[in-house]
Amino acid sequence: MKEGKKYTLQTLPFVVPTDDGKVIKEHFGLASDGNSEISIAHMVAPPGWSEPYQTPEFDEYTFIIKGKKQFIIEGDTIILEARQSIKIEKNTRLQYSNPFAEPCEYIAICLPAFSIDSVNREDQ
């Protein structure tokens, strides 16, 4: 009896529709394969991009590939550059932005998976 395969190869990530110029390609997660335990996305934030403050109900790990990304985490401003990473614990108030002249390319991993219902974005 042949066992089922022990891997999932992702060649067509789900491209999340945005209206702010940010490119989000979710490889694994709720939108791409229905996985509620983890989400992994490749993102490119254009110069001048920002999101409203939020208090997510998930841990988020970010790894910067190119460029810089600004984080305001409970009042502390942190700027990550290429080859740097950060973990932000769930229920932490923060804001993400790219106020710099170059795009920022990065990987984001959320545990449990990102959900628009659990990100808790504030009104702008």
Question: pLDDT (tens digit, 0 to 9) for every residue of the chain, 124 residues total?
Answer: 456 789 999 999 999 999 999 999 999 999 999 999 999 999 999 999 999 999 999 999 999 999 999 999 999 999 999 999 999 999 999 999 999 999 999 999 999 999 999 999 998 6
pLDDT for the residue 4:
73
Q: Which domains does the chain have, with CATH numbers?
A: 20-111 (2.60.120.10)
Query: What does the alpha-carbon distance between residue 20 and residue 70 come to, in Å, rounded to a whole number?
Result: 16
pLDDT for the residue 1:
47
Say if residues 26 and 12 touch (Cβ distance below 8 Å).
no
Which strands, in side-by-side order, build the sheet including 49-50? 49-50, 94-98, 68-73, 76-81
Say if residues 46 and 97 touch (Cβ distance below 8 Å).
no
Task: Say how many C-beta atoms besides its own lie within 10 A of residue 30's C-beta.
Answer: 21
pLDDT for the residue 2:
53
The runs of H, that is alpha helices, within 20-98 are: 30-33
- Structure pTM? 0.93
DSSP symbols for 88-123:
E-TT--EEEEE-SSS-EEEEEEEES---TTTS-BPP
Note the Cα 53 to chain centre separation in Å: 14
And the tokens for 119?
Answer: 């990100």
Say if residues 95 and 120 touch (Cβ distance below 8 Å).
no
Query: What does the alpha-carbon distance between residue 52 and residue 21 come to, in Å, rounded to a whole number?
Result: 15
